[in-house]
Amino acid sequence: MRVLMISKACIVGAYQKKLEELARFDDVELTVIVPPYWRDERGVMPLERVYTEGYRFIVEPMLLNGHFHLHFYPGLGKHIRRLRPDIVHIDEEPYNLATFQAMRLAKGAGARALFFTWQNLKRTYPFPFSFIESYNLKKADYAIAGNQEAVEVWREKGYKGPIKVIPQFGVDPEIYAPRLTPHTSRFTIGYVGRLVEEKGVQVLLQAVNGLAGEWRLRILGSGPMQPQLEALARRLNVVERVTFESPVPSAQMPAFYNQLDALVLPSLTRPHWKEQFGRVLIEAMACGVPVIGSRSGEIPHVIGQAGLSFTEGDVQELRARLSQLMGAPALRADLSRRGRERVLAHYTQARIAAETHEVYCQLLTAAG
Position 178 in a domain: no
Contacts of 8 (CB under 8 A, 6+ apart): 34, 35, 38, 62, 71, 91, 92
Is the confidence at residue 94, as pLDDT, over 80?
yes
Position 176 in a domain: no
In this structure, the answer to whether residues 362 and 323 fall within a common structural domain is no
In this structure, the answer to whether residues 19 and 156 fall within a common structural domain is yes
User: By three-state DSSP, how is residue 44 classified?
Assistant: strand
Number of folded domains that form the chain: 2
Position 304 in a domain: yes
Position 179 in a domain: no
In this structure, the answer to whether residues 104 and 237 fall within a common structural domain is no
Give the percent of the chain with pLDDT over 70.
99
| 22-45 average pLDDT score | 93
Helices 97-108 and 76-83, interaxial angle, to 10°? 30
**Structure confidence at residue 314 (pLDDT):** 98
In this structure, the answer to whether residues 146 and 95 fall within a common structural domain is yes
One-letter amino acid for residue 202 of the chain: Q
Is the confidence at residue 184, as pLDDT, over 70?
no
Closest CA to 363 of 169, 166, 163: 163
Position 177 in a domain: no
Contacts of 264 (CB under 8 A, 6+ apart): 189, 190, 191, 204, 291, 292, 293, 318, 322
**Structure confidence at residue 251 (pLDDT):** 81
Q: In what order do the strands lie in the sheet with 242-245?
A: 242-245, 215-220, 187-192, 262-265, 291-294, 308-310
In this structure, the answer to whether residues 201 and 324 fall within a common structural domain is yes
**Structure confidence at residue 266 (pLDDT):** 98
Contacts of 145 (CB under 8 A, 6+ apart): 116, 117, 118, 151, 154, 163, 164, 165, 166
Going by DSSP bridges, is the β-strand pair 242-245/262-265 parallel, antiparallel, or unpaired?
unpaired
Burial label for 135, CB within 10 Å (0-12, 13-18, 19+), is middle
Domain that holds residue 338: 187-346
What is the tens place of the pLDDT at every residue in 53-85? Answer: 999 999 999 999 999 999 999 999 999 999 999
213 Ramachandran zone, left/alpha/beta (phi>0; psi -120 to 50): left
In this structure, the answer to whether residues 211 and 96 fall within a common structural domain is no
Position 60 in a domain: yes
Position 222 in a domain: yes
In this prediction, residue 40 has a pLDDT band, given cuts at 50, 70 and 90, of: confident
CATH of the domain at 232: 3.40.50.2000
**Structure confidence at residue 366 (pLDDT):** 83
In this structure, the answer to whether residues 162 and 257 fall within a common structural domain is no
**Structure confidence at residue 250 (pLDDT):** 80
In this structure, the answer to whether residues 318 and 244 fall within a common structural domain is yes
Task: Please indicate whether residue 367 or residue 188 has the higher confidence score (pLDDT).
Answer: 188
One-letter amino acid for residue 25 of the chain: F
Task: Please indicate whether residue 342 or residue 186 has the higher confidence score (pLDDT).
Answer: 342
Position 221 in a domain: yes
State the sign of the Cα–Cα–Cα–Cα dihedral 341, 342, 347, 351: positive
How many whole angstroms separate alpha carbon 312 and alpha carbon 294?
A: 5
In this prediction, residue 249 has a pLDDT band, given cuts at 50, 70 and 90, of: confident
In this structure, the answer to whether residues 129 and 244 fall within a common structural domain is no
What is the tens place of the pLDDT at every residue in 323-345? Answer: 999 999 999 999 999 999 999 99
In this structure, the answer to whether residues 320 and 341 fall within a common structural domain is yes
In this structure, the answer to whether residues 143 and 31 fall within a common structural domain is yes
In this structure, the answer to whether residues 246 and 331 fall within a common structural domain is yes
Q: What is the DSSP letter of 208?
A: H
In this prediction, residue 368 has a pLDDT band, given cuts at 50, 70 and 90, of: low
How many whole angstroms separate alpha carbon 43 and alpha carbon 128?
A: 27
Is the confidence at residue 180, as pLDDT, over 90?
no
The DSSP code sequence of 281-348 is HHHHHHTT--EEEESSTTHHHHHTTSSEEE-TT-HHHHHHHHHHHHT-HHHHHHHHHHHHHHHHHH-B
Is the confidence at residue 228, as pLDDT, over 70?
yes
Contacts of 154 (CB under 8 A, 6+ apart): 94, 117, 119, 137, 143, 145, 163
Taking every pair of C-alpha atoms in the chain, what is the biggest distance, in angstroms? 66
